[in-house]
Amino acid sequence: MTQPLLKESRLEVVPPPSVPSGIGATLRSLREARRLSPGEVSARLKFTSRQLEALETEQWDRLPTGVSLRGFVKNYGRFLEADVDALLVMLDSQVGYTAAKPVAISRAGSLGPADLPIHGEPVHRPWGWLIIILVLLFVAGFYAIERGWVPDSWLVFDWLKSLKK
């Protein structure tokens, strides 16, 4: 019994389907799995076909950077019904951190020079209204004196008493 129990057979080993390695290839394979053309995706998401092609071929210099790129990938992932968080992690690992930077909230009284506006806020002084009000008060006062509505004890100056006749 020198023969092996199982005969060696030549089985063809079929390699598993290739898994896309980058975010662009992943998005392209998801789009192709849904049988969507780049034109259909471009029309639906309002992205140009050049932007879509640049993302799928990972030509980062032809795309916006930072939060804009992150939103672009997020919208594309939502449209393809993919795991958006996983796509954003892939994007960050390929391009670098693209999320919005946290905003520092300063406490009252601790404003720095960067917090102050370059040009001061315009100051609106109501000089015109003040002058109009004063003129109306003078006219009303002289009218009241002339009509005799003001007692003589209130009139300090003689020329005001001469108005009252």
Q: Are residues 37 and 78 in the same domain?
A: yes
Give the tokens for residue 99. Answer: 């999320």
In a domain, 13, yes or no: no
Residue 4 lies in a domain: no
Average pLDDT, the chain: 78
Angle of helix 38-45 relative to helix 67-79, nearest 10 degrees, comes to 120
35-92 per-position pLDDT tens digit: 988 888 888 888 888 888 988 898 888 888 888 888 888 988 898 888 889 888 888 8
119 inside domain: no
Say if residue 56 is exposed, middle or buried (CB neighbours under 10 Å; 0-12, 13-18, 19+): buried
How far is it, in rounded angstroms, from Cα 91 to Cα 65? Answer: 11
Verify that 78 and 27 share a domain, yes or no: yes
Could you tell me if 29 and 89 lie in one domain?
yes
In a domain, 14, yes or no: no
- Are 89 and 136 within one domain? no
Whole-number CA gyration radius for the chain = 40
Read off the pLDDT of residues 93-128 as tens digits, 9 standing for 90 and up.
887 776 666 666 656 556 666 666 666 666 777 788
Range of the domain at 147: 128-163
pLDDT of the residue at 93: 84
Predicted TM-score (pTM) above 0.85: no
Between CA 48 and CA 29 the distance in angstroms is 19
In a domain, 118, yes or no: no
